[in-house]
Each structure stands twice: as C-alpha cells, then as structure tokens.
Structure 1
Amino acid sequence: MSDKMQQIVLASRPTGAPTADNFRLEESQIPTAGPGEIVVEVHYMSLDPYMRGRMDDAKSYAAPVPLDGKMEGGAVGRVIESRNDKYAVGDHVMGAFGWATHATSDGEGLARVDPDQVPLSYTLGVMGMPGFTGWFGLMEHGRPKEGETLVVAAATGPVGSMVGQLAKSMGLRVVGIAGGADKCSLAVDHFGFDACVDHRAFDSASDLRRALKEECPDGIDIYFENVGGKVLEAVLPMMNAFGRIPICGMIAWYNEGGLGASAQEQTLTGPRLWRTILVNFLSVNGFIISNHWDRMGEFHATVGPMLADGRIKTLEDVTEGLENAPEAFINLLEGGNNGKAVVKLV
C-alpha cells in the first residue's frame, strides 16, 4: 500500500444508473490520531446495494452522502496508530470507514474482530451486516415453520443465501430467484436450495409467475423481499393466506431515485397491492438492520457454529484495489457479482 491515503468521493449525483463519472479518486496524507482516536489501515471494504440510495439527495432512513464527500460503507482493517485506551496498535476492527484506504475513529461504533477466528472479509458478509440482515429478517419477520415454502430473490447474494440456507436447515422448501443460469446453479448446488428460477429468462412478471408456480405448487408462505420490480409482481399473487413478507431492500428500483417513479412501481403501490395484503391476511414488515445491532451477539452465537461446521456456506466476489471500487459497485447493481462483493485493499 502507498504511503498516501486514497479515498473515493461522490463527484456528482447519478441520474438513473451510476456511471464512473459520479465518482472521483482523491489522494492525501495518511491522517494522524487526535486525542482519543485511532487510525485504521483498511484491508477490506464492503460494497452493498443500499449505497446507491445514499447517492441520492432524498429523504431516507439515513442522510445522503454530500457532494464531494467520501462514499460511505463498512470496512475492516488494522489499527496502525492509537491514542485510545480501548484499542492497541495491531488490533483488527470493523466499522463505517467508507471507501478509503485509511480512516480515523474515536472508537464509537467499532467492533473488534479476530482474524484467527474468521477471515477478515467474512465480517463484511456472512458474519457481518448482510448475513445478520438475512438472519434477523427471516427469524423476526418471516417466522419460518417446517413444511412451508420460502422464496427469496437475489438468491446467491449474502442476504439471500443466508435466508435460504437458514430456512432450508429448518425444514422449509426453499426456492431462489436469481439472474442467470449460472447463479441458479450456485443457489442449488452450492447453497442447497431446492430450486431456483432465472428471472432473466422471462420478459414479463406473468411468465416468471408461471415458472414459480411449477416450483411452488403449494403457494408461497414467506417471500423475503430485497428486489421489488418484476419479481414482486410475480410473487405477490402467489402468497398464501397469513403469509409473511420481510422487506429489507428493493434493488430493482434503486436507480429511479429516492421514491421511484416508474409506471410499474405505481401499479404496485395502488389498490391491487393493498387489496392483496388485506384479503390474504399478509404480514408485511419493513426493517433496517441498523436498528437492531443489539441482536448481533445472538446472530453470531447461532450462525457462527453453522458456518464452522459447513451448514452455512458463503461465496465472495473480490475486487482488488480501491480505484476499481466504482466499476465493481456498478457491476453489483447490474447483478454482475457472484456472492458478497468486497474490495481488497491490503
């Protein structure tokens, strides 16, 4: 790594899908620690779909990234300077360090990690925020029961794969939806799903629904929602009475701005959506995982042993070099990644 610090900032707000021009790589001196602070050398940083929403100047659960501000995101690295009694040089920590090779912190909101117990990059995926999101959403809002049918889109991503594997371990029929035949094969062969439907093979929601009906002959009891768009159109009429829909994302609409504006979305937010929820007694729960960090210990205690003995598998899509992060992020939003997207800096 260079003796300079590098970071990627938001150069302009995207209209539609982000492009490389929306980002700018900047270089400066490595920061020094002030009183009570530490300096972290970042080893891995996370790329996640929610970051697209932070690029818009729109009301949301978190403030947008300011123009010329550092792109936000989770990362993990090693303490290289400390003036904080809680952390020593050489400690490894995870925190919201953003898209940068180095960061300072006062220690608030950090988690110490042990690279001898779990690979550092796993703290950003299977054992970090995405895995925790899948576990919490499924257990708290999905309320799975043996013998039920669960459908999850983005099936090979870090959230979807966690949801599917946990549900399968509890005796549910698990059907994934993914973009491409290769990803569907991963869902079945690597993650152990019962079946997976390639949404890219169908131009319309009705055609996708017909394919789903073949794999879900008894309807759908739980739909873990992280996509929206055509997939939601296909799934909604198949929900069984008293079904549950945990909502943690809607990647199909992220490039339409803060609230979305397509005609397709408007059909979903109209009377048909509400009537379907009403007459089928559906439970629809939106959640943001940052409201539930107090459950992280429970998640680690439950899933850690499952990862260690192979009951939970993971997959990573690793990009090397901070300068390649924008391209990797754009690829992620287009569904071009296989597994948890991370950028390796050291």
Structure 2
Amino acid sequence: MAQVRNKQVLLKNYVTGFPKESDMEIVEGSITLKVPEGSSDVVLLKNLYLSCDPYMRILMYKDTPLSLGFQYSPGSPLTAFGVSKVVESGDPKYKKDDLVWGVTKWEEYSLVPSAKIHLLFEHTGMPGMTAYGGFFELGCPKKGEKVFVSAASGAVGQLVGQFAKLTGCYVVGSAGSQEKVDILKNKLGFDEAFNYKEESNLDAALKRYFPEGIDIYFENVGGKTLDAVLLNMRSHGRIPVCGMISQYNLSQPEGVTNLANLIYKEIKMQGFIVSQFYPLYPKFLEFILPHIREGKIAYVEDIVEGLEGGPAALVSLFSGQNLGKKIVAIAPE
C-alpha cells in the first residue's frame, strides 16, 4: 500500500525554563495506512484534535518526574491526548470510522496501542475525567460546602466549578484576566471569581470570599496561591492536587511555608493523575451525559487551526493567553 504524508511536531531538545516555539519543529514524515499484519492490539488513527495541556511541559525535562506511561525524547513527536478517527483496527473493539479519544501523538496519523484509547461519547474526554475524578473521588463534596478553584477558566477548572454548583456548593474561581473572571461568573455559573494578578494579598482576598473558610481547594497552580489557601482551609478540608502550573518553568520552585496547617486542621491533600480514574469512565458518563444533553454544562474552547500552530499554542499556556481549553484542530484530508 502506498505511503502518505504524515506531518509531525517533534521535540528538538529537552527544555529548561519557559518553553519556546523553537524547542519544537514541524517535519513531514510518511506512513503506510495499514495496521501491521497480525497485530491485534493496535489501532491506526487519523488525528482530528490535539489537546494542549500544562503537564506536557513537565515531560520536556530530560529527567522528568512525571510518569504517564510515555516520555518525550528529542527527535520524536510529542505525545498527548487527542480525538481521532479510526482508519484501521487490529483490535475487534474498534472499527473503521469510530471516533475515539485517548493517548496519541502530535502528527496527522498515529499507530497506537488500543489500550490507550476509548470510544468518544459526545463531548467527553480527558479534562472531564480529570475534573470528575479529582473533585468527586478526592474532594468528596457535600452540599453547602465552600469550594475554591485556581486556574478556574482552564480546561479542568471550568468543569470543576460547574460540578461543584451541580452538587449544591458555593464556588469561587481565580483567573488571570478580567475577561476570564467575567466568563467564570456569567457563562460558567461560579458564585464569585477574582483576578489574582490584581490581588496584592491573596490571604486577604480569600478571607473576603471565604469568611468561614474553604472546604475543598482544587489545586491547579501551586506556589503562593497554595500557601495562602492553607491559611484559609477549614478543619477536615480536602485539597485534590491536579497541577502546579506556576512552578513548571522555574529552575528553583517556590517554597510553601504554611504546610503545618495540614496537621492543625487535619486536611487531606492528595495528588493524582487522571489515568487512575479510567476504571470510573462508565460512572463518569452516567453522571455527565444527562447534564450535557440538558444544556447544564458549558464549555469554553480556544481552538488553533492546523498542526503548524501547535508549538505556539502549547507555549501560550504558560503566559495565560488561552481562554478555556486549548485545542489544535488538524486540517481534514
């Protein structure tokens, strides 16, 4: 069978400091549109949408501390989550033209293990699973509790806030611009939101929005925000740790000085990676699909057209330029 073009985004070198577009390069490879003979556990995909996520920066370190079952290496395509169409499958669970989501590569076509993908049900995917697992399984929310979400207009944060409202919680989000604050309050239904860049004293800001303290803090940024939150947590509070985007590009991460509050207030703080919640996917669908169909879940996306825009899209995450979920849409054949 003839080979076809397979445009790819490669990592040129391991990265120190803030990532740059020049740390990546666009190349044109080729691929045969055929699953290798006798392969029953791989699927050939035409990638449609690629997810830009902050964790990708951590994988650009030579000695990455993050274990996701895949790593980056110079000269190879970036690996991430995406939405794809099945071209050919060696696994009988998938058939031609099925829409799937899961781990793929930053390229037009990918041959991937079938264990890394899932059938796509409406608008569900990795950020939804992340928000669902972190908030419900680790946050253990109860009606009436007070919830704070940092990076609240991002892919995961915007869903956590809405899940909190559906549970009957009071929810406040922080973001980095007035435009994002307005979206949180007017489109996504947060009770309150504030621009952290305009707050000279985060402890005072949190006391203003949470005079009785915080029950659940969904952690996405780390650093000074986490330090201020620890002072404002209530007894037996929970902190699901999803990300710490403020720290990823620092050669010397910021210290956190208020950790003793974990003891004084008997707070549970737990980090997680979304893959631990994959067994809950049917439970997640049972929860989310009715809300989607009833229009109770809103979602803000920031879509970049074309694989060529991928490096700039990824870099933009670390300057706060994205508004909602950053996605690279690959041009159709």
Global fold match (TM > 0.5): yes
Conserved? CA contact 1:93–1:113, under 8 Å: yes
- Secondary structure at 2:147 match in 1: strand
The structural deviation recorded for 1:41 is 1.1
1:255-266 equivalence runs, <5 A:
255-256=249-250, 261-262=252-253, 265-266=254-255
Match of 1:228 among 211, 214, 222: 222
Match of 2:86 among 73, 79, 85: 79
Corresponding residue for residue 35 of structure 2: 33
The structural deviation recorded for 1:337 is 0.8
- Secondary structure at 1:70 match in 2: coil
Match of 1:146 among 143, 146, 150: 143
Conserved? CA contact 1:197–1:212, under 8 Å: no
The structural deviation recorded for 1:93 is 2.2
How big is each residue's C-alpha offset from its partner over 1:238-265, in whole Å with a ceiling of 9 and x where there is no partner? Answer: 11111111111100001126xxx23xx2
Instruction: State yes or no: 1:45 paired with 2:39.
Output: no
Instruction: State yes or no: 1:195 paired with 2:192.
Output: yes
- Distance, in Å, in 1 between the alignment partners of 2:177 and 2:143 is 29
Instruction: State yes or no: 1:213 paired with 2:184.
Output: no
Corresponding residue for residue 232 of structure 2: 238
Provide TM-score, normalisation by structure 1: 0.89
Corresponding residue for residue 270 of structure 2: 285
Letter in 1 for 2:105: G
- Distance, in Å, in 2 between the alignment partners of 1:86 and 1:240 is 47
- Distance, in Å, in 2 between the alignment partners of 1:319 and 1:40 is 20
Unaligned runs of 5+ in 2: none
The structural deviation recorded for 1:153 is 0.7
Corresponding residue for residue 65 of structure 1: 72
How big is each residue's C-alpha offset from its partner over 1:223-249, in whole Å with a ceiling of 9 and x where there is no partner? Answer: 111111221122111111111111111
- Distance, in Å, in 2 between the alignment partners of 1:274 and 1:212 is 17
1:1-346 equivalence runs, <5 A:
3-31=4-32, 32-35=34-37, 36=39, 37-58=42-63, 59-62=65-68, 63-113=70-120, 118=122, 122=123, 127-202=124-199, 204=200, 207-256=201-250, 261-262=252-253, 265-266=254-255, 268=256, 272-345=257-330, 346=332
Unaligned runs of 5+ in 1: none
The structural deviation recorded for 1:108 is 2.6
- Secondary structure at 2:61 match in 1: coil
Report percent identity of matched pairs: 35
The structural deviation recorded for 1:181 is 0.5
Q: In structure 2, do the counterparts of structure 1 residues 150 and 83 end up closer, same or farther at CA, with 3 Å as the change threshold?
A: closer
How big is each residue's C-alpha offset from its partner over 1:151-198, in whole Å with a ceiling of 9 and x where there is no partner? Answer: 001111121111111111222110000111110010000110000010
Q: In structure 2, do the counterparts of structure 1 residues 172 and 85 end up closer, same or farther at CA, with 3 Å as the change threshold?
A: closer
- Secondary structure at 1:89 match in 2: coil
Letter in 2 for 1:23: M
Conserved? CA contact 1:12–1:21, under 8 Å: no
Q: Which has the higher helix share?
A: 1
- Secondary structure at 2:111 match in 1: strand
Q: In structure 2, do the counterparts of structure 1 residues 169 and 89 end up closer, same or farther at CA, with 3 Å as the change threshold?
A: closer
Q: In structure 2, do the counterparts of structure 1 residues 219 and 84 end up closer, same or farther at CA, with 3 Å as the change threshold?
A: closer
Equivalent pairs counted in the alignment come to 323
Letter in 2 for 1:69: S
Q: Which has the higher strand share?
A: 2
Deviates more, 1:234-243 or 1:104-113: 104-113
Letter in 1 for 2:66: S
How big is each residue's C-alpha offset from its partner over 1:87-141, in whole Å with a ceiling of 9 and x where there is no partner? Answer: 3322222231111111113423221236xxx2xxx3xxxx211111111111111
The structural deviation recorded for 1:61 is 2.2
- Distance, in Å, in 2 between the alignment partners of 1:249 and 1:182 is 23
Provide TM-score, normalisation by structure 2: 0.92
- Secondary structure at 2:29 match in 1: strand
